[in-house]
Structure 1
Protein backbone atom coordinates (compact mmCIF):
# COMPACT_ATOMS: atom_id res chain seq x y z
CA UNK A 1 0.00 0.00 0.00
CA UNK A 2 2.79 2.37 0.88
CA UNK A 3 4.43 1.60 -2.45
CA UNK A 4 1.27 2.56 -4.31
CA UNK A 5 0.93 5.78 -2.35
CA UNK A 6 4.54 6.70 -2.90
CA UNK A 7 4.23 5.94 -6.60
CA UNK A 8 1.15 8.14 -6.92
CA UNK A 9 2.90 10.94 -5.06
CA UNK A 10 6.01 10.71 -7.18
CA UNK A 11 6.56 13.78 -9.36
CA UNK A 12 5.61 13.39 -12.99
CA UNK A 13 8.34 13.77 -15.57
CA UNK A 14 8.79 17.38 -16.67
CA UNK A 15 6.95 18.28 -19.86
CA UNK A 16 8.79 20.18 -22.50
CA UNK A 17 8.15 23.89 -22.52
CA UNK A 18 5.44 24.90 -24.97
CA UNK A 19 4.07 21.38 -25.42
CA UNK A 20 0.41 20.77 -24.63
CA UNK A 21 -1.46 17.49 -24.60
CA UNK A 22 -4.30 17.29 -27.09
CA UNK A 23 -6.81 14.86 -28.48
CA UNK A 24 -5.67 15.22 -32.10
CA UNK A 25 -2.19 14.23 -33.32
CA UNK A 26 0.75 16.59 -33.24
CA UNK A 27 1.13 19.76 -35.24
CA UNK A 28 3.19 18.21 -38.01
CA UNK A 29 0.75 15.41 -38.80
CA UNK A 30 -2.34 17.64 -38.42
CA UNK A 31 -0.89 20.38 -40.61
CA UNK A 32 0.24 17.87 -43.22
CA UNK A 33 -3.23 16.33 -43.41
CA UNK A 34 -4.80 19.82 -43.57
CA UNK A 35 -2.58 20.92 -46.45
CA UNK A 36 -3.15 17.66 -48.31
CA UNK A 37 -6.92 17.90 -47.88
CA UNK A 38 -7.06 21.55 -48.98
CA UNK A 39 -4.76 20.87 -51.91
CA UNK A 40 -6.88 18.02 -53.24
CA UNK A 41 -10.20 19.82 -52.82
CA UNK A 42 -9.35 23.51 -53.32
CA UNK A 43 -5.86 24.41 -54.49
CA UNK A 44 -5.35 21.87 -57.27
CA UNK A 45 -8.83 22.36 -58.87
CA UNK A 46 -8.41 26.14 -58.77
CA UNK A 47 -4.89 25.92 -60.18
CA UNK A 48 -6.18 24.09 -63.22
CA UNK A 49 -8.07 27.21 -64.32
CA UNK A 50 -5.06 29.44 -65.05
CA UNK A 51 -3.12 26.42 -66.31
CA UNK A 52 -5.85 25.63 -68.84
CA UNK A 53 -6.25 29.30 -69.73
CA UNK A 54 -2.48 29.48 -70.38
CA UNK A 55 -3.09 27.46 -73.54
CA UNK A 56 -4.28 30.72 -75.07
CA UNK A 57 -1.85 33.38 -76.12
CA UNK A 58 -1.97 36.67 -74.24
CA UNK A 59 -3.76 38.36 -77.13
CA UNK A 60 -6.32 35.56 -77.42
CA UNK A 61 -6.85 35.54 -73.65
CA UNK A 62 -7.47 39.29 -73.63
CA UNK A 63 -9.82 39.02 -76.60
CA UNK A 64 -11.88 36.34 -74.86
CA UNK A 65 -12.21 38.05 -71.48
CA UNK A 66 -12.87 41.55 -72.90
CA UNK A 67 -15.51 40.59 -75.43
CA UNK A 68 -18.46 43.00 -75.03
CA UNK A 69 -20.86 40.17 -74.25
CA UNK A 70 -18.51 38.82 -71.57
CA UNK A 71 -17.91 42.27 -70.06
CA UNK A 72 -21.67 42.83 -69.85
CA UNK A 73 -22.02 39.53 -68.00
CA UNK A 74 -19.27 40.59 -65.58
CA UNK A 75 -21.10 43.81 -64.77
CA UNK A 76 -24.40 42.01 -64.24
CA UNK A 77 -22.96 39.14 -62.20
CA UNK A 78 -20.79 41.21 -59.88
CA UNK A 79 -23.30 44.05 -59.61
CA UNK A 80 -26.22 41.76 -58.80
CA UNK A 81 -24.17 39.74 -56.29
CA UNK A 82 -22.93 42.90 -54.58
CA UNK A 83 -26.40 44.43 -54.39
CA UNK A 84 -27.91 41.19 -53.06
CA UNK A 85 -25.21 40.92 -50.39
CA UNK A 86 -25.79 44.51 -49.24
CA UNK A 87 -29.55 43.95 -49.04
CA UNK A 88 -29.02 40.75 -47.06
CA UNK A 89 -26.73 42.51 -44.59
CA UNK A 90 -29.55 44.92 -43.71
CA UNK A 91 -32.48 42.52 -43.70
CA UNK A 92 -30.43 39.59 -42.42
CA UNK A 93 -29.56 41.68 -39.37
CA UNK A 94 -33.25 42.49 -38.86
CA UNK A 95 -34.24 38.82 -39.15
CA UNK A 96 -31.51 37.74 -36.73
CA UNK A 97 -32.52 40.51 -34.32
CA UNK A 98 -36.16 39.36 -34.30
CA UNK A 99 -35.19 35.71 -33.79
CA UNK A 100 -32.88 36.53 -30.88
CA UNK A 101 -34.60 39.39 -29.07
CA UNK A 102 -38.33 38.67 -29.42
CA UNK A 103 -40.79 35.90 -28.70
CA UNK A 104 -43.71 35.51 -31.09
CA UNK A 105 -45.99 32.75 -32.36
CA UNK A 106 -44.36 30.67 -35.08
CA UNK A 107 -40.81 31.67 -34.10
CA UNK A 108 -39.52 28.11 -34.55
CA UNK A 109 -41.11 27.95 -37.99
CA UNK A 110 -39.50 31.24 -39.05
CA UNK A 111 -36.16 30.03 -37.70
CA UNK A 112 -36.48 26.85 -39.76
CA UNK A 113 -37.53 28.75 -42.90
CA UNK A 114 -34.27 30.71 -42.78
CA UNK A 115 -32.40 27.50 -43.55
CA UNK A 116 -34.70 26.55 -46.43
CA UNK A 117 -32.36 27.89 -49.17
CA UNK A 118 -29.65 25.60 -47.72
CA UNK A 119 -31.77 22.48 -48.16
CA UNK A 120 -33.67 23.40 -51.30
CA UNK A 121 -31.99 22.48 -54.60
CA UNK A 122 -31.07 25.64 -56.43
CA UNK A 123 -32.82 24.56 -59.62
CA UNK A 124 -36.05 24.04 -57.67
CA UNK A 125 -35.66 27.51 -56.17
CA UNK A 126 -35.13 28.99 -59.62
CA UNK A 127 -38.21 27.32 -61.06
CA UNK A 128 -40.31 28.38 -58.07
CA UNK A 129 -39.19 32.00 -58.29
CA UNK A 130 -39.75 32.06 -62.05
CA UNK A 131 -43.29 30.72 -61.65
CA UNK A 132 -43.96 33.26 -58.90
CA UNK A 133 -42.62 36.34 -60.69
CA UNK A 134 -43.48 35.51 -64.31
CA UNK A 135 -45.98 37.75 -66.08
CA UNK A 136 -48.72 35.24 -65.27
CA UNK A 137 -47.45 34.40 -61.76
CA UNK A 138 -49.04 35.17 -58.42
CA UNK A 139 -46.78 38.18 -57.84
CA UNK A 140 -45.46 38.89 -61.31
CA UNK A 141 -48.88 39.49 -62.89
CA UNK A 142 -50.18 42.10 -60.40
CA UNK A 143 -46.79 43.84 -60.28
CA UNK A 144 -46.72 44.16 -64.05
CA UNK A 145 -50.41 45.09 -64.43
CA UNK A 146 -50.61 47.59 -61.58
CA UNK A 147 -47.13 49.13 -61.50
CA UNK A 148 -45.60 48.12 -64.82
CA UNK A 149 -42.79 46.25 -63.05
CA UNK A 150 -41.44 43.23 -64.90
CA UNK A 151 -39.48 40.98 -62.56
CA UNK A 152 -38.83 37.66 -64.31
CA UNK A 153 -36.34 37.61 -67.20
CA UNK A 154 -34.78 40.89 -66.07
CA UNK A 155 -31.80 41.80 -63.85
CA UNK A 156 -34.31 42.48 -61.05
CA UNK A 157 -35.29 38.81 -61.07
CA UNK A 158 -31.61 37.84 -60.86
CA UNK A 159 -31.16 40.03 -57.77
CA UNK A 160 -34.23 38.49 -56.10
CA UNK A 161 -32.92 34.98 -56.74
CA UNK A 162 -29.51 35.88 -55.32
CA UNK A 163 -31.08 37.46 -52.24
CA UNK A 164 -33.10 34.28 -51.70
CA UNK A 165 -30.16 31.89 -51.82
CA UNK A 166 -27.68 34.02 -49.82
CA UNK A 167 -29.85 35.33 -46.96
CA UNK A 168 -29.11 32.43 -44.54
CA UNK A 169 -25.38 33.17 -44.59
CA UNK A 170 -25.90 36.58 -43.00
CA UNK A 171 -28.57 35.46 -40.53
CA UNK A 172 -26.63 32.44 -39.26
CA UNK A 173 -23.43 34.47 -38.97
CA UNK A 174 -24.96 37.35 -37.01
CA UNK A 175 -27.40 35.35 -34.88
CA UNK A 176 -24.89 33.71 -32.48
CA UNK A 177 -23.10 37.03 -31.94
CA UNK A 178 -26.38 38.67 -31.00
CA UNK A 179 -27.12 35.85 -28.59
CA UNK A 180 -23.79 36.45 -26.82
CA UNK A 181 -24.37 40.19 -26.34
CA UNK A 182 -25.70 40.93 -22.88
CA UNK A 183 -28.70 43.23 -22.71
CA UNK A 184 -27.12 44.96 -19.72
CA UNK A 185 -24.83 46.82 -22.12
CA UNK A 186 -27.83 48.39 -23.83
CA UNK A 187 -29.45 49.16 -20.48
CA UNK A 188 -26.23 50.80 -19.31
CA UNK A 189 -26.13 52.96 -22.44
CA UNK A 190 -29.78 53.93 -21.92
CA UNK A 191 -29.11 54.82 -18.28
CA UNK A 192 -26.40 57.20 -19.45
CA UNK A 193 -28.90 59.01 -21.65
CA UNK A 194 -28.21 57.35 -25.01
CA UNK A 195 -31.08 56.96 -27.42
CA UNK A 196 -31.86 53.62 -29.09
CA UNK A 197 -30.03 54.64 -32.24
CA UNK A 198 -27.01 55.86 -30.27
CA UNK A 199 -26.92 52.62 -28.27
CA UNK A 200 -27.06 50.60 -31.48
CA UNK A 201 -24.46 52.74 -33.24
CA UNK A 202 -21.99 53.07 -30.37
CA UNK A 203 -22.46 49.79 -28.46
CA UNK A 204 -23.97 47.06 -30.65
CA UNK A 205 -22.71 47.90 -34.12
CA UNK A 206 -18.96 47.72 -33.28
CA UNK A 207 -19.53 44.27 -31.80
CA UNK A 208 -21.64 43.11 -34.74
CA UNK A 209 -19.46 44.60 -37.47
CA UNK A 210 -17.02 41.65 -37.83
CA UNK A 211 -19.94 39.22 -38.07
CA UNK A 212 -21.71 41.48 -40.57
CA UNK A 213 -18.60 41.67 -42.73
CA UNK A 214 -18.22 37.89 -42.56
CA UNK A 215 -21.87 37.40 -43.51
CA UNK A 216 -21.48 39.89 -46.35
CA UNK A 217 -18.42 38.05 -47.68
CA UNK A 218 -20.17 34.67 -47.52
CA UNK A 219 -23.34 36.00 -49.14
CA UNK A 220 -21.37 37.76 -51.88
CA UNK A 221 -19.27 34.68 -52.63
CA UNK A 222 -22.35 32.46 -52.66
CA UNK A 223 -24.25 34.78 -54.99
CA UNK A 224 -21.31 35.30 -57.31
CA UNK A 225 -21.11 31.69 -58.43
CA UNK A 226 -24.81 30.86 -58.35
CA UNK A 227 -26.18 29.21 -61.48
CA UNK A 228 -29.18 26.97 -60.83
CA UNK A 229 -31.39 29.50 -59.06
CA UNK A 230 -30.60 32.24 -61.59
CA UNK A 231 -30.57 30.58 -64.98
CA UNK A 232 -34.35 30.07 -65.07
CA UNK A 233 -35.43 33.53 -63.91
CA UNK A 234 -32.71 35.44 -65.79
CA UNK A 235 -34.06 34.93 -69.30
CA UNK A 236 -30.43 34.69 -70.50
CA UNK A 237 -30.66 37.53 -73.00
CA UNK A 238 -27.17 38.58 -74.16
CA UNK A 239 -26.07 42.03 -72.97
CA UNK A 240 -29.19 42.27 -70.75
CA UNK A 241 -29.74 39.34 -68.40
CA UNK A 242 -26.94 36.89 -69.18
CA UNK A 243 -24.75 35.91 -66.22
CA UNK A 244 -21.11 34.91 -66.42
CA UNK A 245 -21.58 31.30 -65.17
CA UNK A 246 -23.96 30.74 -68.09
CA UNK A 247 -21.29 31.92 -70.54
CA UNK A 248 -18.82 29.51 -68.98
CA UNK A 249 -21.30 26.64 -69.37
CA UNK A 250 -21.95 27.68 -72.97
CA UNK A 251 -18.25 27.57 -73.82
CA UNK A 252 -17.92 24.18 -72.16
CA UNK A 253 -20.80 22.87 -74.26
CA UNK A 254 -18.95 24.16 -77.34
CA UNK A 255 -15.79 22.32 -76.13
CA UNK A 256 -14.00 25.66 -75.78
CA UNK A 257 -12.32 24.64 -72.54
CA UNK A 258 -9.57 27.27 -72.75
CA UNK A 259 -12.09 30.07 -73.27
CA UNK A 260 -14.21 28.84 -70.36
CA UNK A 261 -11.11 28.64 -68.16
CA UNK A 262 -10.10 32.17 -69.17
CA UNK A 263 -13.44 33.65 -68.13
CA UNK A 264 -13.44 31.58 -64.93
CA UNK A 265 -9.92 32.78 -64.13
CA UNK A 266 -11.02 36.41 -64.36
CA UNK A 267 -13.94 35.72 -62.02
CA UNK A 268 -11.62 33.90 -59.64
CA UNK A 269 -9.15 36.80 -59.60
CA UNK A 270 -11.86 39.41 -58.98
CA UNK A 271 -13.45 37.28 -56.26
CA UNK A 272 -10.11 36.73 -54.55
CA UNK A 273 -9.33 40.46 -54.54
CA UNK A 274 -12.74 41.39 -53.16
CA UNK A 275 -12.61 38.74 -50.46
CA UNK A 276 -9.08 39.86 -49.59
CA UNK A 277 -10.36 43.42 -49.16
CA UNK A 278 -13.22 42.20 -46.95
CA UNK A 279 -10.81 40.16 -44.81
CA UNK A 280 -8.62 43.24 -44.47
CA UNK A 281 -11.64 45.23 -43.28
CA UNK A 282 -12.40 42.50 -40.75
CA UNK A 283 -8.83 42.60 -39.46
CA UNK A 284 -8.93 46.39 -39.23
CA UNK A 285 -12.25 46.29 -37.40
CA UNK A 286 -10.95 43.68 -34.95
CA UNK A 287 -7.82 45.73 -34.19
CA UNK A 288 -9.92 48.86 -33.81
CA UNK A 289 -12.23 47.09 -31.36
CA UNK A 290 -9.28 45.72 -29.40
CA UNK A 291 -7.76 49.20 -29.22
CA UNK A 292 -10.91 50.57 -27.62
CA UNK A 293 -10.78 48.08 -24.77
CA UNK A 294 -9.07 49.30 -21.64
Structure 2
Protein backbone atom coordinates (compact mmCIF):
# COMPACT_ATOMS: atom_id res chain seq x y z
CA UNK A 1 0.00 0.00 0.00
CA UNK A 2 1.44 3.34 -1.06
CA UNK A 3 1.14 6.30 1.23
CA UNK A 4 0.62 9.69 -0.35
CA UNK A 5 2.81 12.31 1.22
CA UNK A 6 1.64 15.90 1.19
CA UNK A 7 4.17 18.54 0.23
CA UNK A 8 5.74 20.11 3.27
CA UNK A 9 5.13 23.76 3.85
CA UNK A 10 8.02 25.88 4.94
CA UNK A 11 7.32 27.43 8.34
CA UNK A 12 6.41 31.10 8.27
CA UNK A 13 7.90 33.69 10.57
CA UNK A 14 4.53 35.43 10.91
CA UNK A 15 1.21 33.79 11.91
CA UNK A 16 -1.27 32.48 9.36
CA UNK A 17 -2.65 34.38 6.41
CA UNK A 18 -6.01 35.09 8.01
CA UNK A 19 -4.59 36.77 11.09
CA UNK A 20 -1.93 38.80 9.27
CA UNK A 21 -4.37 39.85 6.54
CA UNK A 22 -6.90 40.94 9.16
CA UNK A 23 -4.30 42.99 11.00
CA UNK A 24 -3.13 44.51 7.70
CA UNK A 25 -6.64 45.58 6.67
CA UNK A 26 -7.42 46.90 10.15
CA UNK A 27 -4.25 48.98 10.31
CA UNK A 28 -4.73 50.22 6.72
CA UNK A 29 -8.30 51.22 7.51
CA UNK A 30 -7.38 53.09 10.69
CA UNK A 31 -4.44 54.97 9.18
CA UNK A 32 -5.56 55.61 5.58
CA UNK A 33 -9.04 54.47 4.53
CA UNK A 34 -11.16 55.86 7.38
CA UNK A 35 -9.52 59.34 7.40
CA UNK A 36 -9.86 59.57 3.60
CA UNK A 37 -13.48 58.45 3.80
CA UNK A 38 -14.06 61.14 6.43
CA UNK A 39 -12.81 63.77 3.98
CA UNK A 40 -15.35 62.72 1.34
CA UNK A 41 -18.17 62.40 3.88
CA UNK A 42 -17.48 65.86 5.30
CA UNK A 43 -17.30 67.44 1.84
CA UNK A 44 -20.57 65.74 0.90
CA UNK A 45 -22.28 67.99 3.45
CA UNK A 46 -21.93 70.86 0.99
CA UNK A 47 -24.28 69.32 -1.51
CA UNK A 48 -23.48 68.69 -5.17
CA UNK A 49 -24.23 72.22 -6.37
CA UNK A 50 -22.07 73.89 -3.70
CA UNK A 51 -19.29 71.35 -4.25
CA UNK A 52 -19.33 71.95 -8.00
CA UNK A 53 -19.31 75.72 -7.47
CA UNK A 54 -16.29 75.41 -5.19
CA UNK A 55 -14.51 73.07 -7.60
CA UNK A 56 -14.93 75.53 -10.46
CA UNK A 57 -14.11 78.62 -8.39
CA UNK A 58 -11.32 80.61 -10.04
CA UNK A 59 -9.21 80.77 -6.88
CA UNK A 60 -9.53 77.05 -6.23
CA UNK A 61 -8.71 76.15 -9.84
CA UNK A 62 -5.66 78.44 -9.83
CA UNK A 63 -4.38 76.92 -6.57
CA UNK A 64 -4.89 73.36 -7.84
CA UNK A 65 -3.17 74.17 -11.14
CA UNK A 66 -0.16 75.60 -9.32
CA UNK A 67 0.11 72.70 -6.83
CA UNK A 68 -0.16 69.91 -9.39
CA UNK A 69 1.63 71.72 -12.20
CA UNK A 70 4.59 72.70 -10.05
CA UNK A 71 4.76 69.19 -8.57
CA UNK A 72 4.83 67.62 -12.05
CA UNK A 73 7.50 70.01 -13.31
CA UNK A 74 9.65 69.54 -10.21
CA UNK A 75 9.29 65.74 -10.37
CA UNK A 76 10.31 65.77 -14.04
CA UNK A 77 13.37 67.90 -13.24
CA UNK A 78 14.28 65.58 -10.39
CA UNK A 79 13.88 62.54 -12.64
CA UNK A 80 16.55 63.91 -14.98
CA UNK A 81 19.02 65.27 -12.45
CA UNK A 82 18.31 62.58 -9.86
CA UNK A 83 19.31 59.95 -12.41
CA UNK A 84 22.46 61.94 -13.16
CA UNK A 85 23.36 62.27 -9.47
CA UNK A 86 22.75 58.56 -8.84
CA UNK A 87 24.91 57.68 -11.86
CA UNK A 88 27.81 59.82 -10.60
CA UNK A 89 27.58 58.42 -7.06
CA UNK A 90 27.54 54.80 -8.26
CA UNK A 91 29.85 54.83 -11.26
CA UNK A 92 32.58 57.25 -10.15
CA UNK A 93 34.89 57.39 -7.16
CA UNK A 94 36.00 60.92 -6.27
CA UNK A 95 37.15 62.82 -3.18
CA UNK A 96 34.21 63.77 -0.98
CA UNK A 97 31.90 61.19 -2.51
CA UNK A 98 30.57 60.07 0.88
CA UNK A 99 29.88 63.65 1.87
CA UNK A 100 27.91 64.24 -1.33
CA UNK A 101 26.04 60.97 -0.79
CA UNK A 102 25.11 61.98 2.77
CA UNK A 103 24.05 65.48 1.64
CA UNK A 104 21.39 63.93 -0.60
CA UNK A 105 19.39 63.00 2.51
CA UNK A 106 19.42 66.51 3.99
CA UNK A 107 15.93 67.40 2.67
CA UNK A 108 14.62 64.34 4.54
CA UNK A 109 16.04 65.48 7.88
CA UNK A 110 15.74 69.24 7.46
CA UNK A 111 12.47 70.80 8.72
CA UNK A 112 10.51 72.12 5.77
CA UNK A 113 10.15 75.56 7.33
CA UNK A 114 13.93 75.83 7.63
CA UNK A 115 14.28 74.82 3.98
CA UNK A 116 11.75 77.47 2.96
CA UNK A 117 13.56 80.19 4.90
CA UNK A 118 16.92 79.17 3.44
CA UNK A 119 15.59 79.16 -0.13
CA UNK A 120 13.92 82.53 0.40
CA UNK A 121 17.14 84.01 1.74
CA UNK A 122 18.95 82.78 -1.39
CA UNK A 123 16.43 83.68 -4.09
CA UNK A 124 14.85 86.85 -2.66
CA UNK A 125 15.63 90.06 -4.58
CA UNK A 126 18.24 90.93 -1.93
CA UNK A 127 19.53 87.34 -1.58
CA UNK A 128 22.81 85.92 -2.81
CA UNK A 129 21.34 84.45 -5.99
CA UNK A 130 18.29 86.70 -6.31
CA UNK A 131 20.38 89.85 -6.36
CA UNK A 132 22.34 88.46 -9.33
CA UNK A 133 19.37 87.39 -11.46
CA UNK A 134 17.01 90.25 -10.57
CA UNK A 135 18.79 92.72 -12.94
CA UNK A 136 18.30 90.15 -15.73
CA UNK A 137 14.54 90.31 -15.29
CA UNK A 138 14.33 86.89 -13.65
CA UNK A 139 12.27 86.51 -10.50
CA UNK A 140 12.18 83.30 -8.49
CA UNK A 141 11.16 84.23 -4.97
CA UNK A 142 7.51 85.24 -4.46
CA UNK A 143 6.43 83.64 -7.75
CA UNK A 144 5.42 80.25 -9.12
CA UNK A 145 9.07 79.62 -10.04
CA UNK A 146 9.90 79.69 -6.34
CA UNK A 147 7.35 76.94 -5.76
CA UNK A 148 9.08 74.75 -8.34
CA UNK A 149 12.51 75.43 -6.80
CA UNK A 150 11.25 74.42 -3.34
CA UNK A 151 9.69 71.23 -4.68
CA UNK A 152 12.87 70.33 -6.56
CA UNK A 153 14.78 70.72 -3.29
CA UNK A 154 12.54 68.42 -1.25
CA UNK A 155 11.93 65.87 -4.04
CA UNK A 156 15.46 65.09 -5.26
CA UNK A 157 16.27 62.42 -2.60
CA UNK A 158 13.26 60.32 -3.64
CA UNK A 159 14.60 59.82 -7.16
CA UNK A 160 18.23 59.34 -6.15
CA UNK A 161 17.47 56.80 -3.43
CA UNK A 162 15.19 54.69 -5.65
CA UNK A 163 17.53 54.62 -8.66
CA UNK A 164 20.85 54.32 -6.81
CA UNK A 165 20.51 50.73 -5.43
CA UNK A 166 19.23 49.39 -8.76
CA UNK A 167 22.10 51.02 -10.61
CA UNK A 168 24.59 49.69 -8.04
CA UNK A 169 23.28 46.11 -8.53
CA UNK A 170 23.23 46.39 -12.32
CA UNK A 171 25.41 43.74 -13.97
CA UNK A 172 28.19 45.53 -15.83
CA UNK A 173 28.83 42.38 -17.85
CA UNK A 174 25.74 43.25 -19.90
CA UNK A 175 27.36 46.53 -20.92
CA UNK A 176 30.61 44.75 -21.73
CA UNK A 177 28.78 42.17 -23.82
CA UNK A 178 26.97 44.91 -25.74
CA UNK A 179 30.26 46.69 -26.41
CA UNK A 180 31.80 43.41 -27.59
CA UNK A 181 28.94 42.97 -30.06
CA UNK A 182 29.68 46.41 -31.52
CA UNK A 183 27.10 48.57 -29.72
CA UNK A 184 27.97 52.21 -29.24
CA UNK A 185 27.91 53.80 -25.81
CA UNK A 186 24.63 55.52 -26.60
CA UNK A 187 23.05 52.24 -27.76
CA UNK A 188 24.25 50.49 -24.60
CA UNK A 189 22.78 53.18 -22.34
CA UNK A 190 19.49 53.56 -24.23
CA UNK A 191 18.80 49.84 -24.87
CA UNK A 192 20.49 48.03 -21.98
CA UNK A 193 20.89 50.33 -18.97
CA UNK A 194 17.99 52.76 -19.27
CA UNK A 195 15.19 50.13 -19.63
CA UNK A 196 16.38 48.51 -16.39
CA UNK A 197 16.30 51.88 -14.64
CA UNK A 198 12.85 52.89 -15.86
CA UNK A 199 10.82 51.16 -13.07
CA UNK A 200 12.77 52.74 -10.18
CA UNK A 201 12.91 56.04 -12.06
CA UNK A 202 9.12 56.08 -12.41
CA UNK A 203 8.80 55.12 -8.75
CA UNK A 204 11.05 57.99 -7.72
CA UNK A 205 9.09 60.32 -9.99
CA UNK A 206 5.83 59.24 -8.37
CA UNK A 207 7.22 59.68 -4.85
CA UNK A 208 8.63 63.13 -5.64
CA UNK A 209 5.33 64.15 -7.25
CA UNK A 210 3.25 62.91 -4.31
CA UNK A 211 5.49 64.71 -1.84
CA UNK A 212 5.35 67.90 -3.91
CA UNK A 213 1.56 67.98 -4.13
CA UNK A 214 1.14 67.96 -0.37
CA UNK A 215 4.16 70.13 0.49
CA UNK A 216 3.43 73.20 2.60
CA UNK A 217 6.22 74.36 4.91
CA UNK A 218 9.00 74.90 2.38
CA UNK A 219 6.68 76.71 -0.08
CA UNK A 220 4.78 79.33 1.90
CA UNK A 221 7.91 81.39 2.59
CA UNK A 222 9.24 81.52 -0.98
CA UNK A 223 5.93 81.56 -2.88
CA UNK A 224 4.59 84.91 -1.73
CA UNK A 225 1.11 83.35 -1.40
CA UNK A 226 -0.56 85.73 -3.85
CA UNK A 227 -4.09 84.51 -4.73
CA UNK A 228 -4.49 83.37 -8.34
CA UNK A 229 -0.70 83.57 -8.85
CA UNK A 230 1.43 81.86 -6.20
CA UNK A 231 -1.10 80.39 -3.78
CA UNK A 232 -0.95 76.60 -3.40
CA UNK A 233 -3.91 74.37 -2.63
CA UNK A 234 -2.71 73.26 0.85
CA UNK A 235 -2.46 76.93 1.87
CA UNK A 236 -5.98 77.55 0.56
CA UNK A 237 -7.18 74.66 2.73
CA UNK A 238 -5.56 76.28 5.78
CA UNK A 239 -7.20 79.62 4.88
CA UNK A 240 -10.63 77.95 4.68
CA UNK A 241 -10.03 76.32 8.07
CA UNK A 242 -9.11 79.69 9.58
CA UNK A 243 -12.41 80.99 8.19
CA UNK A 244 -14.16 78.05 9.96
CA UNK A 245 -15.30 76.86 6.54
CA UNK A 246 -14.61 73.20 7.30
CA UNK A 247 -16.80 71.86 4.51
CA UNK A 248 -15.02 74.06 1.98
CA UNK A 249 -11.61 72.94 3.25
CA UNK A 250 -12.53 69.27 3.03
CA UNK A 251 -13.99 69.81 -0.45
CA UNK A 252 -10.65 71.15 -1.70
CA UNK A 253 -8.93 68.23 0.02
CA UNK A 254 -11.31 65.82 -1.73
CA UNK A 255 -10.49 67.39 -5.09
CA UNK A 256 -6.77 66.98 -4.40
CA UNK A 257 -7.31 63.34 -3.44
CA UNK A 258 -9.19 62.54 -6.63
CA UNK A 259 -6.66 64.27 -8.89
CA UNK A 260 -3.71 62.71 -7.04
CA UNK A 261 -5.23 59.25 -7.26
CA UNK A 262 -5.87 59.64 -10.98
CA UNK A 263 -2.31 60.80 -11.70
CA UNK A 264 -0.74 58.10 -9.54
CA UNK A 265 -2.92 55.52 -11.28
CA UNK A 266 -1.56 56.70 -14.64
CA UNK A 267 2.01 56.42 -13.31
CA UNK A 268 1.34 52.88 -12.03
CA UNK A 269 -0.12 51.90 -15.39
CA UNK A 270 3.03 53.22 -17.07
CA UNK A 271 5.13 51.13 -14.69
CA UNK A 272 3.09 48.01 -15.47
CA UNK A 273 3.37 48.68 -19.22
CA UNK A 274 7.13 49.13 -18.91
CA UNK A 275 7.48 45.84 -17.00
CA UNK A 276 5.49 43.98 -19.66
CA UNK A 277 7.58 45.57 -22.41
CA UNK A 278 10.81 44.53 -20.70
CA UNK A 279 9.41 41.02 -20.20
CA UNK A 280 8.49 40.70 -23.87
CA UNK A 281 11.88 42.04 -24.93
CA UNK A 282 13.63 39.55 -22.68
In structure 2, what is the equivalent of residue 127 of structure 1? Answer: 117
User: How many Å separate the matches in 2 of 1:29 and 1:98?
Assistant: 45
Shift of 1:189: 1.2
In structure 2, what is the equivalent of residue 66 of structure 1? Answer: 56
* Distance 1:17-1:270 versus aligned 2 partners, 3 A rule: farther
The within-5 A match list for 1:1-294 is: 17=7, 19-145=9-135, 147-293=136-282
Per-residue CA deviation, residues 2-57 of structure 1 (Å, 9 max, x unaligned), is xxxxxxxxxxx96x558431111111111111111111111111111110001011
User: How many Å separate the matches in 1 of 2:60 and 2:243?
Assistant: 16
User: How many Å separate the matches in 2 of 1:214 and 1:202?
Assistant: 20
Per-residue CA deviation, residues 133-169 of structure 1 (Å, 9 max, x unaligned), is 1011111111112x22111001111000000001000
Which stretches of structure 1, 4 residues or more, deviate above 2 A after TM superposition?
Answer: 16-20
User: How many Å separate the matches in 2 of 1:18 and 1:266?
Assistant: 51
User: How many Å separate the matches in 2 of 1:130 and 1:74?
Assistant: 22
Greater alpha carbon shift after TM alignment, 18-27 vs 32-41: 18-27
Instruction: Give the alignment's Cα RMSD to 1 decimal.
Output: 1.3
Shift of 1:223: 0.4
Shift of 1:193: 1.7
Instruction: Specify the SS of the correspondent of 1:264.
Output: helix
Shift of 1:186: 1.1
Q: Give structure 2 stretches of 5+ with no counterpart.
A: none
Instruction: Specify the SS of the correspondent of 2:260.
Output: helix
User: How many Å separate the matches in 1 of 2:7 and 2:190?
Assistant: 45
User: How many Å separate the matches in 2 of 1:31 and 1:94?
Assistant: 40
User: How many Å separate the matches in 2 of 1:250 and 1:172?
Assistant: 35
User: How many Å separate the matches in 2 of 1:190 and 1:249?
Assistant: 57
Per-residue CA deviation, residues 69-109 of structure 1 (Å, 9 max, x unaligned), is 11111111111000000000000000000010000010000
User: How many Å separate the matches in 1 of 2:202 and 2:55?
Assistant: 30
